[in-house]
Structure 1
Amino acid sequence: MSRLILCAFCALVACAGQVDAGSIFSFNGQGYPVRRLDPRSTGMGGAGRAIVDGTNMSSFNPALLGAFQRPAMFGQYALQRRNVDDRNTSRAIADGDLTGIKTVFPFRFRGAFTVGMEALTDVDITLVDTVGTGGEEHLLGLKGTGGISAIVLGFGQKIGKRLFLGAHADLVVVGTLTESWTKDLLEDLLDDSEPFFSKDTVTRSQRGVQFTFGGVYTPGNMSIALVARPKATITQKVLVENRLTTNAITFDAVETERDIEFPATFGAGLAYARSERFLVAFDLEYAGWESTAPGRHNTLETALGIQYQMLPDNARRIGRRYDLMAGVYRRTLYFATSTGEQIAEMGVSLGLGIPFERESGKFRWTLDVGVRGDTQVHSASETYFKQTFSVAGWIQ
């Protein structure tokens, strides 16, 4: 009897440039780029572009869809805690997000179509600082939330016995970036008893499309992947609402549009399956962010991971097969910094996959621990702990 497990539960910094609050995580871009991985790849440090086994839900290579032979549904939820340290203070930030939900529909001629929704960038930042001098000295506050998301449409096709090709389109029509900028003039600088306060709320929404093309070649127990994402220009609508308080309250709103750019990106992957139980993968990705805005840096990401499948403890090897995953990675970030030194991020990951009965689906949990930035070089650093929970189901 066929059965589909429905996945309902599962799955830094935005554009501003008005003020540099002295943090490497201040607003100087589209936001923190989300690694679009399924939990297995997350548990393997981010590797997996070449794992073409009919269960890989990662969006970094659309050619993976060509291996699906039965309909599937997938959802993923992530919880993260970040400890932010600068030269003066230390604070913790926690957030949780549905990072992806996707369905896959195979068709007759060895291929599959997918539709879903995924986060592309993430924003969660809070800063308060004293800026200005003399009569202009004031407290400046910033709170940023949201992110850029996309509706994903894609397909993959198996050609011959060893080649898989695919393409997908990210329709950037969902997700907003919201910034709140507050200004409080220090009381001891005021000549009267009335406080001075202003608040700017900036809401950014996007529309546009970016494409990704990929391929996987599978000679023997090895598979090799290549992925390319051309440069894309997205239209961003910016709504600025201002509230100013002195002895009266005034309100003003201005709406404008501008173009923002996502860089050309190239990725490659290598996977080797010694047996059905043991899998190792290595990936790298390069993105040309320097061409999208002054001060930004090109980025490079490398990841290495393994998966080991535990066999049931009986002579006939009948029963559930649990997956154990581990990996390491290093990636650089595109953000402009006051020193000009690029920010690096390094981490390790672990994961566990628990199958449902009759191989109808799988629950996966991963833990990702890492650091980004250097307090001495970039004025701030972060240590982060991220847990990912996902459920995937297949029709038998």
Structure 2
Amino acid sequence: MQDTRDTRYTMLKGGGNIKVESIDEGKFSQIAEEVRIKAVNHIRDEKPEAFSAPAQSRDYLRASVRKIALESGAPDINRIVDAVSNDILGFGPLQRLLDDNEVNELRYYKYNNGEYEKNGRLHRIEDSKLLFLSEEHMRRTAVKIAQSAGRRLDESSPIVDARLPDGSRVSAVLKGVSLHGSTLMVRRFPKFFSLDELVAMGYLNEEAKAFLKMALKNKWNIVVCGPMGSGKTTCANSFTGEVDTDVLTIEDPIETRPLNDRVRQFEPILPNIEDKGGVKLSYIVQTVLLRTRPGLLLFGECRDFNTFFVLTGMNTGTHSITTVHSVNCYDAVMYRLPILASMSSEGQSMGMNYLLGLVASSVDVAVYSGLIKHDDGRIERRVLEISEVVPKWVNDMLLPDVRVIFKGANLVQVAEPKLLKKGEGGRVA
């Protein structure tokens, strides 16, 4: 049987350690939960306003937790105080990792098993302070995260995609849907970079940057594609710093932070618990977009039937950018976008030929952002392909012709773009 005791040591003067106690993790979890409940009740009775401003009341909250822990005779007081305070002040064991700006991604496969990505490398979480105490502890934290984003997470709605106050994206799935216990994933955006900064980081080269700057200047519509976690959102966001106009974003949830001081950002609102109210993405596209005339429209990720409304929005003549998961530029344009658009009732009624024509008339450039995994475990994000999308007529059907312009890890230019002929008011046909 596995020993779940957590042995603690303290440093002696002059060097050396002495073992001070062994704590069974199950017992520790029980004690921490008892202290948390008592501390919450104590603070609610004595100073309830502390909960509405936890950052300003940090010292008071920690002192209250320590007082309750001491009165309860809890072992390992410092660890108890850290665990309970992080629960009250933030998001439990996640908080320390969220406070580290070098951490890009967190993955909890179950309450006591996880890993994180830091500086391009994945690390197993071995410090017990960074793991949850129990399934219930993890579930409670996930529900708190969902509530902070105005989302719902319970038995009737066991999956949530939400946004933390710092802009991080959270995906949580409760036990039941997830076989081995609740799961939690956090993708962080600690900093959004300009296009020049991305070049300095090796994400793309000067030649590719010059082409993309020209595309943005000519108001060509761009789709950034690639696998999960490859930097698509970061790339799309960098384009907002290259335009001298206002930016409007429509995302679900909002992830971007445009590098522009003329910004309006919108996201759908889910219906309430009675399935009433709410604002759909399609309604935002049809009303906000068509009535506000933005200079640049940045759509969130295309991942479901809403792709149809994204494409129709891009086809209004407004300069637009969006992202989609794919294995290369050709796949994004010829398969992923039209198939996703066909999931809507409108797309189904129009058929695949019409949707391919819609893509051809909506997208000008596709940028593929990929992942390069090195032997030492390092993960590098880099633009690996840039293609232009030229609409062409084939047997009375308008289809997208995807032509690779830059290709490979070094982004070697392999063709001259035909879209150079495109004027601000027209397209190549």
TM norm structure 2: 0.25
TM norm structure 1: 0.27
Larger radius of gyration: 2
**Which one has a larger percent helix, Structure 1 or Structure 2?**
2
